[in-house]
């Protein structure tokens, strides 16, 4: 249960790539509390996400590179129990430190994430359904879950434009990005019978699709920042995305010449650049919009 391989499959550092949604939710949070903010961050990024990673790794039994692990070790039964333990601790801490509603949202997220790879459901086998549900829960649902946890709000507080609009934009961003995280796994997914969305699109189709949806959601973010903040943030958002766009176009150029370049290393580098740029921007947005910077 506590073997090194099991801990590796939790892929705790991979939570860095999902951090932008949490930071984005802070920017619209009016009821900030430092201890509560810290607990929500720890519960989601060090317990909930790793539990999901480990559980899905156990049922996938990947032999080739997966997100965050270039050479994944063989899975053991201990990984299964360790992932359930992380889930249980997340829910208990969510109930004790935050609220019952937050704990329920953690439970729902955990169940949906398990459905992605569990053989009795395995959303991963269903290209479009799996893509929609994954983006919806890692985007809108997670944004609302962070908002509820940080502000200690109840259900009625998430049905507001200030939550639904940025939450939906987060989902669209993930719908754009998610096929790209699958582009190097076509061979192994096909061997298992998993019809991922990227496999459905093909390698070049994945790049065209991601580029198109990314362009659409960028327009949505610009509208959002102009409407709810100011045009300054819209321009800063565009500037923060420029390294992502440059690398994406460079990588696409390489893939057009040789599709073998759609590999693990290039995918992880794009994820890292994207996460770093978005984390930096949303952290600045949070500090600036909540006037935390003015205290220094």
Number of structural domains in the chain: 1
**What is the model's pLDDT at position 292?**
58
**What is the model's pLDDT at position 61?**
79
Which domain range does residue 258 map to?
A: 4-295
**What is the model's pLDDT at position 296?**
41
pLDDT of 295 strictly over 50: no
pLDDT of 235 strictly over 70: yes
Full 3-state SS string of the chain: CCCHHHHHHHCHHHHHHHHHHHHHHHCCCCCCCHHHHHHHHHHHHHHHHHHHHHHHHHHHCCCCCECCECCCCCCCHHHHHHHHHHHHHHHHHHHHHHCHHHHHHHHHHHHHHHHHHCCCCCHHHCHHHHHHHHHHHHHHHHHHHHHHHHHCCCHHHHCCHHHHHHHHHHHHHHHHHHHHHHCCCHHHHHHHCCCCHHHHHCHHHHHHHHHHHHHHHHHHHHHHHHHHCCHHHHHHHHHHHHHHHHHHHHHHHHHHHCHHHCCHHHHHHHHHHHHHHHHHHHHHHHHHHCCHHHHC
Average pLDDT over residues 101-125: 90
Whole-structure pTM value? 0.93
């Amino acid at each position: 249960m506590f073997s090194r391989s099991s801990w590796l499959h939790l892929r705790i550092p991979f939570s860095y790539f999902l951090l932008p949604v949490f930071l984005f939710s802070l920017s619209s949070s009016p009821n900030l509390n430092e201890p509560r903010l810290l607990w929500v961050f720890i519960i989601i990024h060090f317990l909930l996400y790793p539990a999901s990673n480990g559980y899905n790794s156990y049922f996938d039994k990947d032999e080739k590179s997966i997100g965050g692990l270039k050479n994944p070790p063989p899975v053991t039964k201990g990984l299964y129990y360790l992932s359930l333990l992380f889930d249980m601790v997340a829910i208990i801490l969510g109930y004790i430190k935050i609220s019952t509603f937050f704990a329920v949202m953690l439970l729902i997220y955990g169940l949906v994430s398990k459905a992605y790879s569990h053989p009795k459901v395995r959303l991963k086998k269903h290209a479009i359904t799996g893509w929609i549900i994954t983006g919806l829960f890692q985007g809108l649902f997670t944004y609302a879950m962070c908002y509820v946890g940080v502000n200690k709000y109840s259900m009625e507080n998430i049905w507001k434009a200030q939550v639904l609009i940025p939450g939906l934009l987060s989902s669209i961003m993930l719908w754009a990005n998610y096929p790209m995280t699958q582009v190097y796994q076509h061979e192994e997914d096909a061997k298992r019978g998993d019809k991922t969305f990227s496999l459905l699109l093909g390698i070049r189709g994945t790049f065209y699709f991601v580029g198109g949806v990314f362009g659409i959601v960028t327009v949505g973010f610009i509208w959002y920042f102009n409407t709810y903040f100011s045009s300054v943030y819209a321009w800063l958002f565009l500037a923060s995305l420029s390294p992502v766009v440059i690398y994406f176009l460079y990588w696409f150029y390489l893939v057009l010449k040789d599709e073998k370049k759609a590999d693990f290393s290039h995918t992880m580098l794009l994820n890292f650049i994207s996460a770093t740029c978005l984390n930096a921007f949303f952290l600045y947005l949070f500090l600036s919009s909540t006037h935390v910077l003015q205290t220094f």
